Amino acid sequence: MTDLSDPVLCLVKDCWAYFTTQPLVAQRGAGWHKKPYEHNASLPNEPRAGETWQIRRVAGDWDRLFLDPPTEINAGRPWSVQEVNAGGIPWLRSASYSDHQIALWAGTPLAEFIRPIESIGGVIYLPHRPGAL
């Protein structure tokens, strides 16, 4: 069983990063097999009634941090979500001209996602969860 406190990165779309608490290979979404993902992929599927895994969503300003998504890292090749999640390319990577180089891959736990973003002066916006403090 997956630890619900340690969700892993499964999608970055616009200013949102999505994390799942189920195994990354089990996470799905409509159009996740289609290229290019930015025009075809929906958000991650949510758990059905009775399932205990969760989707967590956090916001960040990737452009301001000079972090590029797959569309910018290798603009000549379209990527599907499944290819990115299989390790074909990171979800976010520092632009080649950036002074601080980081790469954030599919399967990165949320806590390990936040640290590098903060190390380059970024802020991650987490949803408020009553009783979480």
How many domains, the chain? 1
Those residues with Cβ within 8 angstroms of residue 103's Cβ, 6 or more apart along the chain or in another chain: 90, 92, 93, 94
124: in domain: no
52: in domain: yes
128: in domain: no
56: in domain: yes
Those residues with Cβ within 8 angstroms of residue 27's Cβ, 6 or more apart along the chain or in another chain: 10, 20, 44, 45, 85
pLDDT tens digits, one per residue of 104-113 = 999 999 999 9
34: in domain: yes
Q: In 55-98, where does DSSP find H-type helix?
A: 70-73, 81-85
**CA neighbours within 13 Å on the CB side: how many for 42?**
8
1: in domain: no
pLDDT tens digits, one per residue of 34-67 = 999 999 999 999 999 999 999 999 999 887 788 8
By percentage, how much of the chain surpasses pLDDT 70? Answer: 92
pLDDT of residue 133: 42
pTM of the predicted model over 0.85? yes
126: in domain: no
- Look at strands 16-20 and 55-59 and give their pairing: antiparallel
pLDDT of residue 2: 40
Rounded distance, CA 98 to CA 108, Å? Answer: 21
110: in domain: yes
Rounded distance, CA 59 to CA 127, Å? Answer: 9
User: ∠ CA 35-36-37 to the nearest 5 degrees?
Assistant: 95
Tokens, residue 44: 């991650």
Segments forming the whole domain that contains residue 56: 8-119
